[in-house]
Structure formats: structure tokens, C-alpha cells
Amino acid sequence: MKVLIINNDFRVYWKGRLLFLHKYLASQNIGFYAIELFGKGSPYTFDTFNNQENWWTCLFPKNSSDELSKNEIVNTVFAALDEINPDIIISAPIVLYAGALGIRWAKKNKKKFIMFDDAKPVQFKRNVLVQGIKDSIIKQSDGLWLPSKAYECEYEHLHTKSIHYFHGFSCIDNSMFKPSRPNAFDNNVLVCVARLVPVKNMDNLLKAWQLVEQKNTNYKLNIIGNGPQNELLNQLASQLGLKRIKFTGTVDNTDIPACYHKADAFILPSLSETWGLVVNEAMASGLPVLLSNKINASEALLTEGGNGFSFNPLDFNQIADVILKYISLSPESKHSMSDKSFEIIGTMDYQNMGNKLVLGLTEINSKPFKKPGLLAGFLINLWTGKDDHSAWDKLN
């Protein structure tokens, strides 16, 4: 079996996943290839295409999508797929170039198609017509690869016997974050790792922290990350009279684990997260987690009172109450939460991802080709996809 995964770009977390999957699938006698379309234009501008693997290529390493014509993109993608000729294509969402062209090529060549997606449909506002067109195309998939089982309810309207659902790609290299020794929980530090943009809801976190400081807990808040709201949030912290807060700024990926290891708990107050992989990082570091109930990862990774607490991100009083609730726990309870974080995140690792992918590929490969109907076929051949990251850090 020959499998190819295609995306507009593979940045940050995807790099480790692809390297693992190539080696793991080879051990299962499955050939694995990766194509990313653009070397520029990613929202993760700090991370560039730099791999040297002969099975993983970038079609336009020096270009973003807006520097190319649609015909150039289409012809180059199809030529690359023709050359590799995979049995199964795993693709980014069909709204993107990679997904739209991936499913078009698969249907034209009578191959199997799997779509992965870490966003929930409810998080994106589309009119009925647009959503109907999108669903008509997705229904032609042979499989949907989702972050966790909790996502399946979002696709109930697509549930048919011909679509195979499986999970587990929203994972990180847990071993990178495992501390060398148990946490003593005497750092008195809460850590938040987030880009400083409105959707991360840092202003409400600062307002909540003012209430925490008024209780004289001796805890510090360390905010790691940068972004367009940096100056505004520093000004707000000053206006609120916050004394025990630190804006660390951008930290190199290799230094992030040490930041988690110097904290007692992790907090993320986002108004929306398609998943939230920093939650994985914090839990792989053994931290209890305090999470907004709008973070998708919390459905799979947070056990209320077990490894942390949830809160309404729009209510800074509730955020403060949850922080104080955690701070007041006994050392034994904090250690127990840490153990639970390790236990839960152990089910979201590379090995689990590989195992579930192999089972999914085997199941899908055993089924006959799924020929689209006339309308679906027309839509697939009409839609080219896009590369629009304008809303990636905004609340829709």
C-alpha cells in the first residue's frame, strides 16, 4: 500500500508526526509520502520548510499561494500526485488547495481519500448554501481522521456506512516534555503559553489575575508568547497594578519544556481553539491544567477535578475562582493531578497515532472505490480550494 499525505504546509507539530509516521508505516510495509504546497504564507512564519527527506517535498518552497496562478498550482499538484500515484490520499480540509485538489485527483484516478481536520464545523460561520456544498464534497471521503472521538458528534449529519471515522493525530512528541524529576509544586508559578491575539483572551486572564493577587497567594503568572497585543496587554497589566506577572515573550521551542517544568500548573483562557496543542505540552510536562471550556482539547484531555478545572472564559471572576481553587489544593492533590495528566496524555502520543492510522488505512483499503454522484462530481471538479489564514487567530 502506498499512502500520501498532502497539506498547504506542514509546520511546527506536523514535522515530528510525519517523521514518526514514515518510519512506523514502513515497519508495517506501507509506503508513506508527504507533499506540502507552499514554503511561504504559513501563519507560523517563524517555521520554514527545511527538511531533507526524499519522501517529503514542497512544491513551491519559495512561494506563497498569492504569488502563483491557480492553474500553476493545480497542474503542479496533479503532476506530483501522478508521479507518486498513491493508493490512499490523506488530505487537509477540502476548503484548502491541498484538500480540494487531493480529493479531485483521488476521484479521477479511482483512489481512496481521507480528510483530516482539527476544527469543528460549528466554529466557522457559513451560510446554508456554502455549508451544503462543503458537506456534499466531504461525503465523498472514504475516511475522516479526527483529533478525538469527541469530534464525531460534529459530523453526525455526514455519518454513513461508507465513511470510516478514526482519531488521534492531535498529538505531540510527549517524550520531549517529560521532566527529569517529579514536580515538587513549590515554584508558585502559573504558566500560560499563547500567541498574544484577541482570541486568546489574555485581557480577561489579567483581570482575573488582579483578583488572585489581592488574595496574597504569592503565586506568579508567566505568560509566554508574543503577538500584536503585546504592548496593549503590558499597558493593561500596569493599569491593573499587577506585580506578580511576567511577559516572557517568544521562547525557542527547545527551551519551552524547561518553562513548563518551572511551573506548578498551566492555564489557557482562549475564546476558541480548534484543538490547543499547548495543552498536550503542559500535560506531557506533568502539569495540572486550568482550561477555558471553549478549548476543543479539553473535551478529550481534561477530567474535571482529576487533572484540572474548566471555566467560562468570558467570566474573569470565574477564572479567578478556578485559579484560587487550584492554589488552595494540598500538595498531595496537586501531585495526584499531575499523575492524571501523565496518564491521560499517554493515550495521545505518536504510537497511538500510528496504531490508529494503520487500522484506519487497512479498513479503508479493503473497501471498494466510492464513485461520486453527478452533483458531487461536478462540485469536486469545480472547487479548487484556497489558502486563507486570515482568520486563524480570530474568533469567528
Beta bridge partners of 192: 223
The CB-side HSE value for 11 (13 A sphere, CA atoms) comes to 16
The confidence score (pLDDT) of residue 312 equals 98
Is the pLDDT confidence value at 390 over 80? no
**Per the domain annotation, does 239 fall within a domain?**
yes
What are the pLDDT digits (tens) for 227-247? 999 999 999 999 999 999 999
The confidence score (pLDDT) of residue 134 equals 87
Cell (9 digits) for 259: 518553562
**Per the domain annotation, does 392 fall within a domain?**
no
54 and 154 share one domain: yes
The confidence score (pLDDT) of residue 46 equals 62
19 and 161 share one domain: yes
- Chain mean pLDDT for the chain: 92
Tell if the pTM clears 0.85, that is, is over it: yes
153 and 226 share one domain: no
Is the pLDDT confidence value at 56 over 90? yes
For the beta sheet containing 289-292, the strands, ordered from the edge strand earlier in sequence to the opposite edge, are 245-249, 220-224, 189-193, 265-268, 289-292, 308-311
Cell (9 digits) for 370: 466510492
**Per the domain annotation, does 109 fall within a domain?**
yes
What are the pLDDT digits (tens) for 10-44? 988 999 999 999 999 999 999 999 999 999 887 76
The confidence score (pLDDT) of residue 243 equals 96
Domain CATH number, residue 125: 3.40.50.2000
Is the pLDDT confidence value at 388 over 70? no
| Torsion over CA: 255, 258, 263, 267 (sign) | positive
The confidence score (pLDDT) of residue 139 equals 92
Amino acid found at 270: S
High-pLDDT (> 70) share of the chain, %: 94
- Report the distance separating Cα 260 and Cα 137, nearest Å: 42
- How many domains does the chain contain in total? 2
Residue 52: other Cβ atoms inside 10 A? 5
The confidence score (pLDDT) of residue 88 equals 98
Domain residue limits at 341: 174-345
- Band of pLDDT at residue 48, cut at 50, 70 and 90: low
For residue 326, give Cα distances in angstroms to 208, 215, 230, 321. Answer: 14, 13, 27, 9
What are the pLDDT digits (tens) for 340-361? 999 999 999 999 999 999 999 9
121 or 336: which leads in pLDDT: 336
82 and 119 share one domain: yes
Amino acid found at 374: L
Is the pLDDT confidence value at 55 over 70? yes
**Per the domain annotation, does 391 fall within a domain?**
no
- Band of pLDDT at residue 119, cut at 50, 70 and 90: confident
Amino acid found at 150: A
Is the pLDDT confidence value at 51 over 80? no
290 and 166 share one domain: no
The confidence score (pLDDT) of residue 392 equals 47
207 and 325 share one domain: yes
Helices vs. strands in the chain: H and E counts, helices first? 13, 13
345, 369, 391 - which closes a domain: 345
